[in-house]
Amino acid sequence: MVAQRLGLSYIIPMPTLYIENVPDDLYDAIRAKAKAKRKSIAAEVMVVLEQNFPTAKELKARREFLRRVKLSQAARPPGTGPFPSTEEMQREDRLR
């Protein structure tokens, strides 16, 4: 937090999310899962949100990963290496 780096003793509040009219069966499922993990309902809801809604930083990391994968795929020509390609092996088998 910026306040901590500046040596200030107050805490900057985080945004709060209120959800009304949660269906009973959904609430019971969340509560049961939270209880099984020995967490609060709020902590369990945070886990669900974090797993299902990527942040801008996460989206940027995913785009970078995809870019690197595409570059890697484009850099390797098909069929190179010490072994023949499947097409070459099939042609060889047909000629026997």
In a domain, 5, yes or no: no
69 three-class SS: helix
Write out the residue range of the structural domain in which residue 53 sits: 16-72
Total number of domains constituting the chain: 1
4 three-class SS: helix
The pLDDT tens digits for 16-49 are 889 999 999 999 999 999 999 999 999 999 999 9
In a domain, 33, yes or no: yes
> Residue 83 has what DSSP assignment?
S
Higher pLDDT among residues 74 and 94, named by residue? 94
Cα distance between residue 81 and residue 16, in whole Å: 57
pTM attached to this predicted model: 0.53
In this structure, which amino acid lies at residue 79?
G
In a domain, 21, yes or no: yes
Residue range 45-69: mean pLDDT, rounded? 94
